[in-house]
């Protein structure tokens, strides 16, 4: 592998870094405190082409590689994980799923505005009784000939209130278990589709997270993705790419906290010299830097494998497992290095610590990643 980014990738990373500092950082503490969705910032992210990065230009995407995508995710997440998760869901789950498996009609009608950033998408898998276990879907889609009748509830849906297009996983024939699951495109405004109250979360508080309720929602037959019974495979294949995006988010959160801690340790003095020169702090910084670099290599490798058209299930799960662990550990240490200042919002690290935890939970918990990894290495 080459460890040097090309000129285009360097430019994309710099653009994302500049955007994070000039557009996301101002107001990020207030958005977190008031759970305010970064609507204006997300609109600008769409204008920059960051909401359809890996989609072909044919469908209004940027036509970029997965490595460029994780570079953007890393830089945005250093400052505002609530904004970066919008980029993650729209790219990794919604746009990827539609381009890879959608019909020409679905790509024309739904993918194009999503990739252009004109609309936002949501991926609807989790339920009250079915989180990481996609085979236990209680949401049902009854075949009525020219349409399906959708009933059920989805939980913890990112972009739940702001999305226009929803990819919904539902059970059509329970007797077939995972082979009876389908994926559907649901539009906001369809009769019987309602959005529940926004969740009051510990972290990524600016992210728009809701429960969704479907009560006899009529979904046209042409809105089913793939052949009958393809839904489970669709969800699993889509989540594989999603793990890379969340791994990049975790990496960015860790790197952002480390950069703040390093800067603070160079300026803060104790016993006559900067605390960075005290071995207790210097060793913390050394460990943080090493773990972040190891996580970065795992994340970049997973993206590189995806770009090469090679299997990336194992690499993606390893990257997600390790990067999320590093994010949690590094942000805790960043708060510790800041001392009392780390406990107040002004210095950002307490928010990054709260944001880090979710990376160990969504797109499959750490325990799920270990199941995937163990299955792959035993195989």
Catalytic residues, by residue number, are 363
Range 137-176 burial, b when 16+ CB lie within 10 A, else e:
bebbbeeeeebbbbbbbbbbbbbbbbbbbbbbbbbbbeee
Residues 6+ apart with CB under 8 A from 20: 75, 76, 78, 79, 80
Distance CA(341)–CA(338), nearest Å, equals 5
Q: Residue 185 in 3-state DSSP?
A: strand
Q: How far apart are CA 370 and CA 99, in angstroms?
A: 29
**3-state SS assignment for residue 268:** coil
For tokens 């809105």, the residue is 223
Give the three-state DSSP class for 212: strand
Contact 48, 72 (CB under 8 A): no
The answer to whether the beta carbons of residues 243 and 360 sit under 8 Å apart is: no
Nearest to 306 by CA among 2, 69, 111, 15: 69
Among residues 326, 373, 316, 379, which one has the least CA distance to residue 353? 326
Listed residue (320, 298, 324) closest to 244, CA to CA? 320
Ranges of beta strands (E only) in 15-146 are 121-124, 140-143
E strands within the chain? Answer: 121-124, 140-143, 147-158, 165-171, 181-187, 193-198, 209-220, 224-225, 269-270, 273-274
């Amino acid at each position: 592998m080459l460890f040097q980014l090309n000129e285009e990738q360097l430019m994309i990373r710099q653009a994302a870094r500049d955007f994070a500092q000039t557009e996301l950082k101002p107001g990020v503490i207030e958005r977190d405190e008031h759970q305010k969705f970064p609507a204006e910032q997300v609109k600008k992210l769409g204008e920059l082409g960051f909401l359809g990065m890996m989609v072909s230009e044919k469908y209004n995407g940027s036509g970029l590689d997965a490595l460029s995508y994780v570079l953007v995710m890393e830089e945005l997440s250093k400052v505002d994980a609530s904004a970066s998760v919008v980029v993650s869901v729209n790219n990794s789950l919604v746009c990827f799923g539609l381009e890879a498996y959608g019909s020409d009609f679905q790509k024309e009608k739904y993918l194009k505005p999503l990739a252009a950033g004109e609309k936002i998408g949501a991926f609807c898998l989790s339920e009250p009784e079915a989180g990481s276990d996609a085979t236990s879907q209680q949401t049902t889609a009854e075949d009525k000939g020219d349409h399906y009748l959708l009933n059920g509830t989805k939980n913890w849906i990112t972009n739940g209130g702001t999305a226009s297009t929803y990819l919904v996983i539902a059970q059509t024939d329970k007797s077939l278990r995972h082979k009876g699951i389908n994926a559907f495109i649901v539009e906001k405004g369809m009769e019987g589709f309602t959005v529940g109250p926004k969740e009051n979360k510990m972290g990524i508080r600016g992210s728009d997270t809701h429960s969704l309720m479907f009560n006899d929602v009529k979904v046209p037959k042409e809105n089913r993705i793939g052949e009958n019974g393809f839904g489970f495979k669709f969800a699993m294949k889509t989540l594989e790419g999603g793990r890379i995006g969340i791994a990049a988010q975790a990496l960015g959160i860790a790197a952002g906290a480390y950069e703040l801690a390093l800067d603070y340790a160079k300026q803060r003095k104790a016993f006559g010299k900067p605390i960075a020169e005290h071995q207790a702090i210097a060793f913390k910084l050394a460990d943080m830097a090493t773990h972040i670099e190891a996580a970065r290599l795992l994340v970049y490798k997973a993206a590189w494998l995806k770009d090469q058209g090679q299997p990336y299930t194992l690499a993606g799960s390893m990257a997600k497992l390790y990067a999320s662990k590093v994010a949690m550990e590094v942000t805790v240490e960043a708060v510790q290095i800041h001392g009392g200042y780390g406990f107040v919002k002004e210095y950002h690290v307490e928010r990054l610590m709260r944001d880090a935890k979710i990376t160990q939970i969504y797109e499959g918990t750490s325990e799920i990643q270990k199941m995937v990894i163990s299955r792959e290495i035993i195989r």
